[in-house]
């Protein structure tokens, strides 16, 4: 069974433990008990395959925030949570994002060094780690009257930082399973792309082979090769000369608004 490590991070009180407990124990706890660090494991089937999820629920309170262990930073994926009723919880994510982006750069460097060290053998081995997957979750979306961060702002933030995006409610159990399934698919895809990078490509291959394996149901704000190629096809079809970024934004926003109208609980899939 494939193992996937996930770190959940974000400001104190945004609902990280509540999301985790919903997923792991189907449990809802109304009281707020700040976390220092807790670990959980759970198995889930995604697209017919079982995965062992090893989850680290981290501290959001400022005094404990820096206490991440090295293994926490080596996670396959990060779920970055904010509270839609508290705009500063979205700003707090900059701190975690910087840390994760530094880790991503470190992985690129480590992979490059390993590739050099292994020389020709590198072509036959899977080397190092793929970049960490990042998913942004706007939690407490059940508190509609207290909403202070719009879905559009959440999506914008996700897009800017190369994350997938969901709005969740641990209390009402909205998009909890979906968020983790989305995360698993993104990790599987990242591993696949990472493997392909280590394998010499056939000369006729001009477009990334992974474009067809896109999870059709997700709105990915990420600007990786996969999304790009989909948008480029869109541009070609419309025979438009609008810049790539502009078309991508229009495309994502149109879908977001359509989904928002359809489901008041804002599931961007």
Residues that bind ligand GTP (CB under 6 A): 10, 12-18, 30-32, 34-35, 59-61, 139-140, 142-143, 169-171
Using CB under 5 A, count the residues that bind Mg ion. Answer: 3
Compute the least distance from the CB of residue 19 to ligand GTP, in Å: 7
Q: Is 168 in the site for Mg ion (CB under 5 A)?
A: no
Q: Which does 30 bind (CB under 5 to 8 A by kind): ligand GTP, Mg ion, none?
A: ligand GTP
Q: Of 171 and 230, which CB lies nearer to ligand GTP in the complex structure?
A: 171
Residue 214 and residue 188: Cα distance in Å, rounded? 11
Compute the least distance from the CB of residue 139 to Mg ion, in Å: 12
Q: Are 169 and 141 in contact (CB under 8 A)?
A: yes
Compute the least distance from the CB of residue 146 to ligand GTP, in Å: 9
Q: Of 40 and 232, which CB lies nearer to Mg ion in the complex structure?
A: 40
Q: Give the residue at shortest CB distance from ligand GTP.
A: 60
- Cα 263–Cα 151–Cα 4 angle in degrees, nearest 5: 90
Q: Is 17 in the site for Mg ion (CB under 5 A)?
A: yes
- Give the rounded distance of the alpha carbon of 155 from its chain centre: 12
- Give the rounded distance of the alpha carbon of 225 from its chain centre: 16
Compute the least distance from the CB of residue 12 to ligand GTP, in Å: 4
Q: Which does 12 bind (CB under 5 to 8 A by kind): Mg ion, ligand GTP, none?
A: ligand GTP
Nearest alpha-carbon partner for 167 in 181, 183, 153, 151: 151
Choosing from 35, 101, 196, 259, the residue that interacts with Mg ion (CB under 5 A) is 35
The set of residues, in sequence order, having a beta carbon less than 8 Å from that of 45 and lying 6+ positions away, is: 51
For 178, phi then psi, to 5°, come to: -60, -40
Q: Are 175 and 168 in contact (CB under 8 A)?
A: yes
Q: Which helix (H) or strand (E) holds 136?
A: strand 133-139
Residue 6 region by backbone torsions, left for phi larger than 0, else alpha for psi between -120 and 50, else beta: beta
Compute the least distance from the CB of residue 139 to ligand GTP, in Å: 5
Q: Of 63 and 117, which CB lies nearer to Mg ion in the complex structure?
A: 63
Instruction: Kindly list the residues in this chain that would bind Mg ion in the complex (CB under 5 A).
Output: 16-17, 35
């Amino acid at each position: 069974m494939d193992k996937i490590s996930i770190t959940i991070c974000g400001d104190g009180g945004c609902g990280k433990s509540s999301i985790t407990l919903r997923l792991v124990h189907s449990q809802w706890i109304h009281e707020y008990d700040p976390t220092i660090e807790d670990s959980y494991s759970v198995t889930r089937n995604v697209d017919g395959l079982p995965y062992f999820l090893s989850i680290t629920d981290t501290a959001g309170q400022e005094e404990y925030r820096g206490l991440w262990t090295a293994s926490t930073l080596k996670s396959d994926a990060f779920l970055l949570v904010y509270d839609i009723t508290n705009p500063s919880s979205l700003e707090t994510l900059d701190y975690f994002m910087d840390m994760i982006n530094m880790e991503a750069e470190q992985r690129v460097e480590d992979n490059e060094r390993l590739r050099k060290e292994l020389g020709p053998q590198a072509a036959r081995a899977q080397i190092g780690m793929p970049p960490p997957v990042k998913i942004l979750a706007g939690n407490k979306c059940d508190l509609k009257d207290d909403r202070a961060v719009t879905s559009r702002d959440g999506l914008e933030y996700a897009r800017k930082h190369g994350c997938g995006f969901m709005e969740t409610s641990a209390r009402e159990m909205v998009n909890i399973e979906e968020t983790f399934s989305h995360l698993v698919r993104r990790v599987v895809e990242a591993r696949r792309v990472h493997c392909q990078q280590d394998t010499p490509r056939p000369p006729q291959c001009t477009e990334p082979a992974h474009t067809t394996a896109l999870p059709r149901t997700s709105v990915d704000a990420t600007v990786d090769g996969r999304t790009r190629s989909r948008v480029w096809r869109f541009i070609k079809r419309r025979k438009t000369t609008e810049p790539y970024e502009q078309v991508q934004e229009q495309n994502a926003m149109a879908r977001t608004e359509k989904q928002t109208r359809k489901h008041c609980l804002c599931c961007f899939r």
